[in-house]
Structure 1
Amino acid sequence: MNRRLFIQRSAILWTLASAGEGASCFGNTTKKESGYTVKQFEDEGLAQFSYAILVDKKIVLVDPARDPRPYYNYAKEQGAKIIAVVETHSHADFVSSHLEIHRDNHATIYASKLVGALYPHQTFDAGDSLKISDRVVLHAINTPGHSPDSISVLLKVDGGDVAIFSGDAVLIGGVGRPDLREYSGEQATKREKLARQLYHTVHNVYARLADHVVLYPAHGGGSLCGNALKGAKQSTIAEERRHNFAFQEKSEEAFVRQVLNDKPPVPAYFPYDVALNRQGATALQSSLVDISWISAREASTQVLQSKVVDTRPAAQFQQSHFPQAINIPERSKSESWLGTFVAPEDSFYLVVDTKEQGQFQLEKLAKIGYEQFVKGVVLYGDFAGQQSAAFDQAAFERKPQDYFIVDVRTTEEAKAGPIFKGAHNIPLAELKQHISELPLDKPIVVHCASGYRSAIASSLIHAAVPNAQVWDLGDHIKAYKSAIH
C-alpha cells in the first residue's frame, strides 16, 4: 500500500456532456466538444473532495487539500499550468494548500471578502466571475449557512449552467453543518442564524438550478462537516431534488430543527484550522523538516512529563507503552480522532515503530495542521514500558454486574443494537468530558463495535485516572455481537 499523505485518488475523470440546456448527467464527450474537464481528488480519511478544472492547458483548483503534489503531478501530465485556486470557505476540518500553490505557481487565490483572508487574494462574491476561456466561466454565488463566508462556484459553458462546486453548503443527500463556527463568539456565526441562512441557500439558490446541473461537493460520506451524507462522489440537482432531505417541502422552522438536531461535539481542531486557513499554512514539506526523531530510551525522561500520542496497534500498545499515553492506532480518520482529543495548544510526542510510519503519521497530522505541535517522533522499538491489564473474559462473564460497562459507540449505534444490559453509552467523541464521572469502586469495561474506538477510550481513561481499573473488551466484542444475532 502506498502510504502517502492523502490516500488521494483521482476519482473517475468525468468529461461532462456538452454544456448548456439539455446536457445530461455524466457523459464521455471529448474535451474538444465540452471545452473543459473536471478531475476529482479524494482524501478518504477526511472524506474530502477537491477539484481541478482543466481548460485549454489552464487549471483552476477548487478547495485543494494540504499536499499540493497530486495537483502538480496532474498539471505536469496534462502539460498545463495552475492559474488559480478557489476557496469556497475557510475550512474547519482540513488545512488547504492554497498559499503554497499561490507561491509555487503565481496562481491567484479567489475567496469571499467575508473570509477575512490574510493571504494575497482576489475577492470572489456574487457578481464576480473568473473567465478561463471564451467558452468557460466560473461565477461566484454567496451561499451562507454552513459558514457565513461560504460561496458556491457555478461553472458555465457558452452561457449555460453546467456544474456547481458547492463547498460544504449542499452535500450529497444532505447539507453542511451550521454549528461549527460558534466558537468565534460573533453574532453572525450563531448556529440558528446559520441554519436559517442555509435554508434560504438551498431553496433560493440550489433549488432554482436546472435538473441537469452537476453537483460537486467538498465532502462525502463520513465527513464531520455534514449530515445525511451518502457514499456517492458527485450528483445532479435532479437527484438532490428527489433524495436530499433539504430540498423537500418543509417549513424553515422544521428545516432548522432537523439540521441542528443531535450533532456530535465540534472537534478541538476545527477552530484552529479555520484560523490557519484564513492565514495560509506553511508549505507542507518545509513544515516537517525540523521535527526531531528520538528513540524511546533517549526520550523516556522527557516523555514522562509530556502528552504522548501512541499510534501503534492496540495489541502492541497494551503490551508496552509510556504511562499516561493515549493510544490512537493508525486507521482511516485517525487524524480526526487525534484532533478531537488533543487541543491545538497541547504539544505532544508522537510514538511510532519505524521511520516510515513516523513520516506517514506526520503527513497525516499535517492534513489538520498538527505537525507543528509534535515535540518529537519517538521510535518505540523494544522499550520496556507499562503493560495494560488483559481482559479477563471468564471473570467478566461470571459476574458482569460487578463491572461498570461503557459503550463508546454513537448514540444511534447503541440504540439500534444494545449488547450488554445496563451498559452506559458515552460516545467516544464525548468521553473526555465525562471521565471524571466514572466510578472507581469497580472495574470499568469499555467496548465499541470492533475494538478500535474502545482502544482509544480505555487509554484516555487510563491517562486521566491512572489508578482506575480499566479493561478494553477489544475485538472480544465480536463474539458477544454474534451471540445476540
Structure 2
Amino acid sequence: MIIQQFYDKGLAHGSYAVIRTGKMIVIDPARDPQPYYDFAAQHDADIVGVIETHPHADFVSSHLEIHQTTAAIIYVSKLTGAEYPHESFDDGDVIQLNDIKLKSINTPGHSPDSICILVEDENGKDTALFTGDTLFVGDVGRPDLRENVGNITAKKEELARQMYHSTRNKLMKLPHSVVVYPAHGPGSLCGKSMSPDLTSTIGREIRENYALQLMDELAFVKTLTADQPFVPKYFGSDVEINKKGAAGFIDSISKVLKPGKGYQIQPNILIIDTRPKLDFRYAHLSGAINLQDGEKFETWLGSIINPGEEFYLIAKTDADLDRMIKKTAKIGYEQYIKAAFTLPDNASAKLADIDLDDFIAHPDSFTIVDVRNHTETANGLIFASSITIPLPELRERVSEIPTDKPIVVHCAAGYRSAAAVSILAATITKVPVYDLGEVVTEFANA
C-alpha cells in the first residue's frame, strides 16, 4: 500500500492518494487534478475513486473533474446533499481496494456531514485514518462554518457538542498506532492551534491535543467555540461550489481575459495588484489594492473581496500573471476576474514614504491603525492609541478612521499593512497614509 500526501502550503491543505496493486483513490483533492494524474501514471495505477470528507469551505475541490476525466466514483456522505454523481459513504460503508479496505466513519463536528476514512491493511489491521477537517495535529476542526451554508446547517454550539462525541466515542477508541492524516496544517483557518507536523497518530493526539484532554461536554464546547480565527468572505461560497462540483480547472482558467496593451479598464471595478509592495509604491493604477503574491495570497484575496465581486488582476510579468490566475482558481475566484494584465504604461499613482524619525519623535501626531486580527490585538496593542480594524473588515470600515492627522498603518510583519495602506489611500485623500511595514517588528520587540 502506498499513501502519498500532496501539500499546498498556500492554503495549508493536505490531500492524499492511496494506491494498492494498480488502483488509486484520491482523498480531498485540490482544484488542479494534474498532480494526481501524474502520480497515478508514475505508479501505473488507475484512479478508481475520489472521497470527499465534507464540502470544503477554504478551497475548491476537483472531485467532479476527476470523475468526468477518469470515471472514478465519487464517495461522500449522504448528508452532504451532493448535486454531482456519487455514491454515499457513511458509517458501515466500505470501499474494497483490492485486498485493503477504506471504511467510513461519520464524524460530525466541523460540519454536520463530515466523515473520516479508516484504512484496514491487507492483514486486517487498522493502520491509517484520513480525518478531513475533524481531527488535526494538535487541534480539531472549528464548528462555526456551517451556520448558514450547506445542505444541513447547525449552530456552532451544536456542532461543538457533536465534535465532542465524534472524538470521544469514535476516534479516541481507535488503536493508538493508527496514523492520522489531516486535511490541513498550520496556517489554515479551519482550526485555531494546529501543530507544524502534518501527520500524527491517535495515541499522540490523545496525549497532546488540547481538544482531546479530559473535560466534560460543556467545557469542551466553551473551549472549542472560543477564540476561533476570522472567517474569510469566500468560505460560504466554496461550500456551495463543492456541493455542486466545480468546472474543470484548465477550462476555467483559460476563459480569463488577458488583453494586450491599450486595454481600457472600466471605472468602479476593483483592481488587485499582486506585484511586490515597493514596485506598487512607486507606480500603480489609482485605486488599486496591493495584495502581493505570497503564501497566503488566496486567503487574503477571499477575505477582502466578496464572492461575485468583479476585479482586475495585475502582475509583474506574463508568467506571474498565469501563476496568479491559477492561485485565484484555488478558491473559485477566477470566474470573477474581469481581465488580467501586466501594469499599463500610464500607471502613475504613488504612495507616500513615511519619515520614521518624525513618527518615532511625535507618534501622537499620527492616527495609528492596527490591521491585525482580533485574536492578535486581544493579546495587546503595539501602540496604545491605535484604532484596531482587521484587514478583512477594512474596506467596509474606512469611514471610522479620523482624517484630522496623517495615518500610519501596521500589522505584525508588513504584508497586511501593504494591502491596508492601498485600501485607505484609494479612499482617503485629505491626509497622507503611510505604511510602517516591517519596521513594526522593532516596536513590537522593544
Q: Report whether the alignment pairs 1:115 with 2:114.
A: no
Cα displacement string for residues 20-53 of structure 1 (whole angstroms, at most 9, x for unaligned residues): xxxxxxxxxxxxxxxx110111000000000100
| Aligned pair partner of 2:217 in 232, 252, 258 | 252
Q: Is 2:304 the counterpart of 1:361? A: no
Matched with 2:237 is 272
1:15 maps to which residue? none
Check if 1:309 corresponds to 2:272: yes
Task: Give the equivalent residue in structure 2 for 1:149.
Answer: 113
1:387 counterpart letter in structure 2:
K
Shift of 1:381: 4.9
Separation of aligned partners in 2, 1:325 and 1:95: 26
* TM-aligned CA deviation for residue 467 of structure 1: 4.2
Q: Does the CA-based 8 Å contact 1:320-1:383 persist in structure 2?
A: no
1:233 aligned onto 2:215: no
CA contact (8 A) 2:146 2:153 kept: no
| In 1, Cα distance between equivalents of 2:54 and 2:378 | 35
CA contact (8 A) 2:150 2:243 kept: no
Deviation at 1:217, TM superposition (A): 0.4
1:203-233 deviations in Å (ceiling 9; x for gaps)? 1111111110111100011101112200101
Summarize the Cα distance change of 1:466–1:336 in structure 2 as closer, same or farther, 3 Å threshold.
farther
| Cα distance in structure 1, aligned partners of 2:395 and 2:158 | 29
Aligned to 1:127: 92
Structure 2 partner of 1:211: 176
Gaps of 5+ in 2: none
Separation in structure 2 between the aligned mates of residue 481 and residue 296 of structure 1, nearest angstrom: 44
Task: Give the whole-Å Cα distance in 2 for the aligned partners of 1:114 and 1:66.
Answer: 23
Evaluate the alpha carbon distance shift between residue 79 and residue 127 of structure 1 in structure 2; reply closer, same or farther with a 3 A threshold: same
Q: Contact 2:273/2:315 (CA < 8 Å) preserved in 1?
A: yes
The answer to whether the Cα contact below 8 Å between 2:80 and 2:150 also exists between their aligned partners in 1 is no
Q: For structure 1, which runs of at least 5 residues remain unmatched after alignment? A: 1-35
Report whether the alignment pairs 1:425 with 2:384. no
SS at match of 2:148: helix
**Deviations 1:356-387 (Å, cap 9, x if unpaired)?**
01100000111001111101002105433211
Contact persistence 2:80–2:151 (CA under 8 A):
no
Task: Give the CA deviation at 1:434.
Answer: 3.1
Confirm or deny that 1:399 pairs with 2:358: no
Partner of residue 263, structure 2: 298
Q: What letter matches 2:60 in structure 1?
A: V
Partner SS state of residue 321, structure 2 = helix
1:457 match: 420
Distance change >3 Å, CA 225–CA 466, structure 1 → 2: farther
Give CA-to-partner distance per residue, 1:409-464, whole Å, 9 cap, x none: 23454455743332233332343443221111111110122211100111122334
The residue matched to 1:335 in structure 2 has which SS? helix
Among 57, 78, 83, the residue aligned to 2:48: 83
- What is residue 261 of structure 1 aligned with on the other side? 226
- Partners in 1 of 2:151 and 2:13 — Cα distance? 27
Provide the secondary structure at the position in 1 that maps to 2:254.
Answer: coil
Q: 1:320, CA displacement in angstroms?
A: 1.5
Inter-CA distance 122–464: structure 2 relative to 1 (3 Å threshold): farther
Q: Which residue of structure 2 aligns with residue 385 of structure 1?
A: 348
Bigger Cα displacement from structure 2, 346-355 vs 420-429: 420-429
Contact 2:80 2:152 in 1 (8 A): no
- The Cα of 1:64 is off from its aligned counterpart by 0.6
Contact 1:162 1:212 (8 Å CA) reproduced: yes
| In the alignment, structure 1 residue 184 sits paired with structure 2 residue 158 | no
C-alpha displacement at 1:394, in angstroms?
A: 2.9
1:395 Cα deviation after fit: 2.7
Give the Cα separation in 2 of the matches to 1:227 and 1:265.
10
The question of whether the paired residues in 1 share the 8 Å contact of 2:150 and 2:239 is answered with no
Deviations along 1:264-286, whole A, 9 cap, x unmatched?
Answer: 33111111111110111111111
Paired residues of 2:51 and 2:76 also in contact (CA < 8 A):
yes
Match of 2:161 in 1: 196
1:47 pairs with one of 8, 12, 15:
12
Give me the whole-angstrom Cα distance separating, in 2, the residues matched to 1:100 and 1:361.
Answer: 21
State the Cα distance separating 1:159 from its structure 2 match.
2.8
**Cα 1:183–1:325, aligned 2, differ >3 Å: closer, same or farther?**
farther
Moved more, 136-145 or 392-401: 392-401
Contact 1:294 1:379 in 2 (8 A): no
Secondary structure class of the residue paired with 1:50: strand
SS at match of 1:293: coil
Give the partner amino acid of 1:313: P
- Which of 397, 409, 422 is equivalent to 1:434? 397
Instruction: Using the TM superposition, give the Cα deviation of residue 295 of structure 1 relative to its aligned residue in structure 2, in angstroms.
Output: 4.6
Q: Out of 356-365 and 449-458, give the one that drifted further.
A: 449-458
Quick one: percent identity of the two aligned structures? 45
SS of alignment partner, residue 382 of structure 2: coil
Report the residue type matching 2:112 in the other structure: P
Counterpart of 2:334 in structure 1 is 371
- The letter for the 2-side match of 1:44 is K
Local SS of the residue matching 1:184: coil
Q: TM-score, normalised by structure 1?
A: 0.88
2:138·2:208 contact (CA, 8 Å) conserved in 1? Answer: yes
Residue equivalent to 2:254 = 289
**Secondary structure class of the residue paired with 2:239:** helix
Segment of structure 1 superposing worse, 390-399 or 240-249? 390-399
- Secondary structure of 2:338's counterpart equals strand
Work out whether residues 462 and 468 of structure 1, in 8 Å CA contact, stay in contact via their aligned partners in 2. Answer: no
2:371 is equivalent to residue 408 of structure 1: yes
TM-score, with normalisation over the residues of structure 2? 0.96
Q: Report matched runs for 1:166-181 at 5 Å.
A: 166-181=131-146
CA pair 194-466 structure 1, distance change in 2 beyond 3 A? farther
Secondary structure at 2:7's aligned position in 1? Answer: strand
What SS class does the counterpart of residue 82 from structure 1 fall into?
strand
Deviation at 1:160, TM superposition (A): 2.2
- State the partner residue of 1:473: 436
Q: Does 1:445 align with 2:408?
A: yes
Q: What's the secondary structure of 1:351's corresponding residue? A: strand
Say which of 287, 292, 301 aligns to 1:324: 287
Per the TM alignment, residue 297 of structure 1 is displaced from its structure 2 partner at its CA by: 4.2
* Equivalent position of 1:165 in the other structure: 130
